[in-house]
């Protein structure tokens, strides 16, 4: 399984004679759709846990949570926007616990009146109906390295909880594996054409190493700058045949 899925998922290359990778219309063994149907009704329990005396928010996606003792609305644009609000539609006395993601490295603005316990902001009191708390997580673009030998000297981009990748159509004229993220790079957030509304891409100038015409060469490699847009890895291969890399060459 490791030998099959690890290289296939993280790298989708143009294969001579086979074209770029594309989504298949259907498989005779369709395990993913059936597992998705089983997973979707359970999605809420991965995001929050509620009981009579505590509400724990692990992933602050938009939700409406109702219990006999209280009712809470979570609103915001997570995972693309780090700002979210917790509004008490029906007040009551209980503990509110909001997880502080490890990836934000403490860069999270929290309301006053709580304490940090085991990675959660916690506050226990009588919450009033209509009261609202605001939270904000700093969503900077981060470079992530991997200790796996196959990814030595490479880097992946993350923003918030999302891993990003670079995908290019087969006729782009260059491939993602030729790209290097410069040591000093300016990242900008942009909308992405062809994907769901609200999808946030990361645009930056990458250094492309131009392959030599010969299989072997003594010439110094030639380079050029290419502007590329990284997209959330979970959404790749939704715009036709593409080549894709999660890990790019690290220019540091």
The torsion region of residue 237 among left (phi > 0), alpha (psi -120 to 50) and beta comes to left
Tokens representing 47 are: 């995001």
Q: Which distant-in-sequence residues (6+ apart) come within 8 Å of 114 by Cβ?
A: 96, 121, 122, 123
Note the pTM of the prediction, 2 decimals.
0.86
Range list for CATH 2.60.420 in the chain: 45-137
C-alpha to C-alpha distance for 222 and 19, rounded to whole angstroms: 26
Q: Are 159 and 141 in contact (CB under 8 A)?
A: yes
Q: Which distant-in-sequence residues (6+ apart) come within 8 Å of 201 by Cβ?
A: 189, 190, 191, 192, 229, 230, 231
DSSP line for 67-95: -SS-EEEEEE-TTT--EEEEEEEE-EEEE
Q: Looking at the domain covering 45-137, what would its CATH class be? A: mainly beta
- Averages of pLDDT over runs of 10 residues in the chain (252 residues) are 48 48 73 84 91 96 94 96 97 97 94 95 97 96 90 93 93 91 95 94 95 82 92 92 92 90
Report the pLDDT value the prediction gives residue 11, as an integer from 0 to 100: 59
In sequence order, the β-bridge partners of residue 190 are: 201
Report the pLDDT value the prediction gives residue 16, as an integer from 0 to 100: 41
C-alpha to C-alpha distance for 166 and 49, rounded to whole angstroms: 35
Tokens representing 124 are: 């226990």
Report the pLDDT value the prediction gives residue 12, as an integer from 0 to 100: 56
Report the pLDDT value the prediction gives residue 189, as an integer from 0 to 100: 97
């Amino acid at each position: 399984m490791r030998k099959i899925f690890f290289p296939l998922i993280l790298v989708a290359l143009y294969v001579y004679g086979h074209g770029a990778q594309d989504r298949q219309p259907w498989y005779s063994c369709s395990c993913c759709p059936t597992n998705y149907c089983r997973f979707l009704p359970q999605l809420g329990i991965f995001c929050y846990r509620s009981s009579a005396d505590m509400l724990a928010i692990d992933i602050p996606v938009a939700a409406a949570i109702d219990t006999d003792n209280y009712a809470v609305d979570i609103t915001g644009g997570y995972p693309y926007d780090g700002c979210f609000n917790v509004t008490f539609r029906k007040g009551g006395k209980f503990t509110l616990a909001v997880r502080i993601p490890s990836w934000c490295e403490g860069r999270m603005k929290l309301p006053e009146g709580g304490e940090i316990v085991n990675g959660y902001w916690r506050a226990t009191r009588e919450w009033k109906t209509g009261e609202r708390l605001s939270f904000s997580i700093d969503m900077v673009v981060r470079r992530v390295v991997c200790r796996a030998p196959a990814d030595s000297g490479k880097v992946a981009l993350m923003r918030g909880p999302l891993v990003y990748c670079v995908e290019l159509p087969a006729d782009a004229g260059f491939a993602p594996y030729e790209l290097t993220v410069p040591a000093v790079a300016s990242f900008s957030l942009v909308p992405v054409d062809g994907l769901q509304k609200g999808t946030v891409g990361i645009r930056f100038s990458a250094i492309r190493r131009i392959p030599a015409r010969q299989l072997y060469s003594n010439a110094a490699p030639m380079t050029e700058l290419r502007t590329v847009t990284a997209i959330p890895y979970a959404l790749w291969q939704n715009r036709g045949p593409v080549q894709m890399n999660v890990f790019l060459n690290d220019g540091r």
